A and B are shown apart, each in its own frame.
Chain A
Amino acid sequence: SQELEQSPQSLIVQEGKNLTINCTSSKTLYGLYWYKQKYGEGLIFLMMLQKGGEEKSHEKITAKLDEKKQQSSLHITASQPSHAGIYLCGADYNNNNDMRFGAGTRLTVKP
């Protein structure tokens, strides 16, 4: 079974709408990372969460890590076409920065 499950697999929203992407781990993690990938390109770092209950925001994107450090959500407020891409969560399970990634959520924002 997968260590990291992301949901949904894909998401289509109208510009201006809010959305949430979830990442669930089968075991406790040391760090949770969110990255964005445009098709065929490299990964762009968004946020890193380490402490249970932690929440971070950058521009219109907010990410939270639950108290048990097994689930994270990424919330985008008032989505724009520039938010389109594949959102990946990555987990550090061994406290050594070796990341394991989820399968990704493909976000499409319709103008």
Chain B
Amino acid sequence: EPEVTQTPSHQVTQMGQEVILRCVPISNHLYFYWYRQILGQKVEFLVSFYNNEISEKSEIFDDQFSVERPDGSNFTLKIRSTKLEDSAMYFCASTRAIRNNEQFFGPGTRLTVL
């Protein structure tokens, strides 16, 4: 069964460093998402991406964040200069259609900023 994969599973970085979180969505999916979950808190929407551009972003997704689909399979989330409060689980998701379709979630990347 096709699934969304994410790498790495755990990333530890120093405050101020750049990190890139990688996702491989399901191959025939067209819409891609990033969510984050700070420990003990709810899952929060960050950004949606379609046709090589951002469709929607939340207030969390500020200038420190960027997304890219560098090739036909990967979808990345970059944090330019990490802060302590960026420590969270980051989930990638993908779906076939824009509406009324389940989003398939990856297993997540746990980001720890020291």
Question: Which of A's residues lie within 8 Å of B, judged by CB?
Answer: 30-31, 33, 35, 37, 40-45, 48, 50, 88, 90, 92, 94-104
Q: How many residues of B contact A (CB 8 A)?
A: 29
The CA of A59 and the CA of B72, in the complex, are separated in Å by 37
- Residues on B lying within 8 angstroms of A by beta carbon are 4, 31, 33, 35, 41-45, 48, 55-56, 89, 91, 93, 95, 97-108, 110
Q: Which residue in B43, B95, B100 is a CB contact (below 8 Å) of A88? A: B43
The reply to whether A98 and B33 form a contact with Cβ atoms under 8 Å apart is yes
**Interface SS majority for chain B:** strand
Q: How many Å from the CB of B1 to the closest CB on chain A?
A: 12
A109 CB to nearest chain B CB (Å): 21
A106 to B100, CA, bound (A): 26
Min Cβ gap B49→A in Å is 11
Count contacts between A and B, CB distance < 8 Å.
Answer: 72
- Are A40 and B105 CB-contacts (below 8 A) given A96-B99, A97-B98, A100-B45? no
Whether A98 pairs with B48 at a CB distance below 8 angstroms is: yes
For the complex formed, measure the closest distance between the CB of B78 and the CB atoms of chain A, giving whole angstroms. Answer: 20
A110 and B13 CA atoms in complex are apart in Å by 39
Beyond A97-B98, A98-B55: 16 further Cβ-contacts under 8 Å?
A33-B102, A35-B105, A40-B89, A42-B106, A42-B107, A44-B105, A95-B99, A96-B98, A97-B31, A97-B97, A97-B103, A99-B45, A101-B44, A102-B42, A103-B41, A104-B43
- The reply to whether A104 and B42 form a contact with Cβ atoms under 8 Å apart is yes
Q: How far is the CA of A40 from the CA of B104 in the complex (A)?
A: 16
On whether the beta carbons of B91 and A42 are closer than 8 Å, the reply is yes
Complex: A96 Cα to B97 Cα, angstroms: 9
Other-chain contact of A50, B33, B91, B100 (Cβ < 8 Å): B100
Question: Known: A40-B89, A95-B99, A96-B99. Is A101-B105 also a contact (CB below 8 A)?
Answer: no
A103 touching B91, Cβ below 8 Å: no
Alpha-carbon distance between A90 and B56 when the two chains are bound, in angstroms: 17
B42 A97 Cβ-Cβ under 8 A: no
CB-based contact B101/A97 at 8 Å: yes
